[in-house]
Every structure is written in C-alpha cells, then in structure tokens.
Amino acid sequence: MMRSSFGTFRGLVRLALSYPQTAWGLAALSPAEPEAVRRLVFVCQGNICRSAFADAVAQAEGMESASFGLSTDTGRPAHGPAIVAARTLGYEMEGHSAVDRMDFEPCEGDLLLAMEVRQMHRLAADPRLGHLPRQLLGHWAQPRLPHLHDPYGLDDRYMATCLARIERAVKRLIRDYPGARLS
C-alpha cells in the first residue's frame, strides 16, 4: 500500500509536511490572475517523469504549455517506465526532451506549476523565475495533494498512481486557466 500510494515512506512524510506548510503560508506560493495566464509551465526535478507527463496531458487538452527540470541535463529523454505508464493512460512521451532550468525561456503570462514545496522555494529564489506566479499542481488533484512524490526509480505501481494523479490534476487545472488554451 505504501509503495503504490506514496512511493516511499519519505514520500508519505513529505506529503504530511506539505499540508501545514501550505496552510501556514510557508510554501512560497504566488497566485496568478487567471485571465493573465497564457502558458502552463510544469516543473519538477529532472523533467523526465512528472513535469514531462503533465506537459503531455496539457498539450493533448489543447493548452499552451511547457516543462523544465530544476536539476537535469537538457536533451535527456523521458524515463522509460514513465513512457510506458503514460502510454497506458493514452499519452505519448517518446519524443520528450528534458529542459534544464537554465535553458528554459520564461515568458510573460507563464504560470509555474511545481510538484513539491521545496521546488516552490527554489523557484521563488531564482532571479529569472522568482517574479512569475507559481502554484503546486497537486492543489488541483482529488484529493488535494500538495506533494506529488517523484516516481523515478520507484515501483511501477507508484509510477502509474502518480501519473494518474497528475492527469486528473491537469484536467482540473485547465478549467481555471482558459487563457492558456491554444487558439
């Protein structure tokens, strides 16, 4: 149950800690005016599982979107188990190429959507990105999950669980930001 639902014990602990961090205003959230958002930008550590998949879902739904990793090598392909799990859900990630934070080009109208509170702090501290609005993608999950633990290298069941949560969150998110829809 632990591995398939939370990935690891650490994932469960980080999820538990993220609730008070967000409730007490310690998550470095920066809300966006919905009408000002023109692009959804998904952020995670390596840009080969979570953010890459969220980007694939948003694009399949007709949204203007992008993704990048806070610590990755630009050009790195999506993680094999993520490709398999995404395909099971009806999405293709074979052509994905990771983008490192330093190679990402921010634009006016971007909304940064991170997977973890600690990523929010890194975004807030980044001189190129700190001014952009940022939220936790898991706020749109059902139930609300302010920490979407990294599935990289973990159980295939957790990869499937994590990507299914991300898919549902992105589909709920896009209702709130119609200005990011491709014309």
Cβ partners under 8 Å of residue 180, min gap 6: 37, 38, 39, 40, 58, 63, 64, 65, 109, 111, 174
For the chain, give percent helix, strand, coil, nearest 5: 45, 15, 40
CB-hemisphere CA count at 13 Å for 163? 29
Residue from 50, 101, 122, 134 carrying the catalytic annotation:
50
Q: Which of 44, 110, 122, 165 is catalytic?
A: 44
- For the question of residue 134 being annotated catalytic, the response is no
- Of residues 39, 110, 122, 150, which has the active-site annotation? 150
Looking up tokens 């959507």 gives: 113
Q: Is 50 among the residues known to form the active site?
A: yes
- Is 155 a residue of the active site? no
Provide the annotated active-site residues: 44, 50, 150
